[in-house]
Amino acid sequence: MSKSTSNISLSFIAKAAIICNFFYILSLMVMTVQWFKIPEIVSNFIAVLGLEMAPGVNIAFVLAWIWVKVAKKDNYVENWKTILIVLMLSMQVGTLFI
**Residue 2: its pLDDT value, please?**
53
pTM passes above 0.75: yes
Answer whether residue 1 shows pLDDT above 60. Answer: no
How many distinct helices (H) and strands (E) make up the chain?
Answer: 4, 0
Amino acid letter for position 64: A
More confident site: 73 or 61:
61
**Number of independent structural domains in the chain:** 1
**Residue 15: its pLDDT value, please?**
93
Please give the residue range of the domain that contains residue 46.
5-96
Closest CA to 46 of 18, 29, 31, 24: 24
Radius of gyration, alpha carbons of the chain: 15
State how far the Cα of 98 lies from the Cα of 21, in Å rounded to an integer.
18
Residue 21's alpha-carbon distances to 44, 66, 72, in angstroms, are 15, 20, 27
User: For residue range 64-98, what is the model confidence (pLDDT) as tens digits?
Assistant: 999 888 988 877 788 999 999 999 999 999 988 87
Q: Is 70 helix (H, G, I), strand (E, B) or coil?
A: helix
Residue 3's alpha-carbon distances to 6, 10, 11, 74, in angstroms, are 8, 11, 10, 8
